[in-house]
Structure 1
Amino acid sequence: MIPRVPRLQVTELVLDNCRSSNGEIEGLNDSFKELQFLSMANVELTSLAKLPTLSKLRKLELSDNVISGGLEVLAERCPNLTYLNLSGNKIKDLGTVEALQNLKNLKSLDLFNCEITNLEDYRDSIFELLQQITYLDGFDQEDNEAPDSEDDDDEGDEDDDDDENEAGPPGEYEEDDDEDDGASDLGEGEEEEEVGLSYLMKEEIQDEEDDDDYVEGGDEEEEAEGVRGEKRKREPEDEGEEEED
Structure 2
Amino acid sequence: MEMKKRISLELRNKSPAEVVELLVDNCRSGDGEVEGLTDEYTELEILSMVNVGLSSLSKLPSLPKLRKLDVSDNTIAGGLDTLAEKCPNLTYLNLSGNKIKDLSSIEVLQNVKNLKSLDLYSCEITLLDDYRDGVFELLPQLTFLDGYDQEDNEVPDSEADSDEDDEAGPPGDEDEDEDEEDEEEGSEGDEGEVGLSYLMKEGIQDEEDDGDYVEEDEEDEEEEEDGDEDGAGDRGEKRKRDAEDEGDDDDDE
TM-score category, normalised to shorter length: 0.7 to 0.9
Q: Per-residue deviation at 1:142?
A: 1.0
Q: Secondary structure at the match of 2:22?
A: strand
* RMSD over equivalenced CA pairs, Å: 2.9
> Which residue type is aligned with residue 56 of structure 1?
K
The percentage of counterpart residues that share the same residue type is 53
Mark the CA change 1:190 to 1:149 in structure 2 (over 3 Å): closer, same or farther. closer
Which protein shows a greater Rg?
2
Structure 2 residue corresponding to 1:75, chosen from 77, 84, 87 = 84
Map of 1:37-116 to 2, 5 A cutoff? 37-116=46-125
Q: Secondary structure at the match of 1:38?
A: strand
Could you tell me how far apart the structure 2 residues matched to 1:129 and 1:154 are?
Answer: 31
Partner of 2:217: 216
Partner of 1:26: 35
Q: Per-residue deviation at 1:236?
A: 3.6
Q: Per-residue deviation at 1:30?
A: 0.4
> Which residue type is aligned with residue 129 of structure 1?
L
Structure 2 residues not aligned, in runs of 5+:
1-10, 174-186, 248-253
Equivalences, count: 222
Partner of 1:176: none
Structure 2 residue corresponding to 1:148, chosen from 147, 157, 165 = 157
Structure 1 residues not aligned, in runs of 5+:
165-185
Could you tell me how far apart the structure 2 residues matched to 1:38 and 1:187 are?
Answer: 51
> Which residue type is aligned with residue 216 of structure 2?
V
> Which residue type is aligned with residue 88 of structure 2?
P
Q: Per-residue deviation at 1:54?
A: 0.1
Partner of 2:251: none
Mark the CA change 1:204 to 1:27 in structure 2 (over 3 Å): closer, same or farther. same
Could you tell me how far apart the structure 1 residues matched to 2:214 and 2:114 are?
Answer: 93
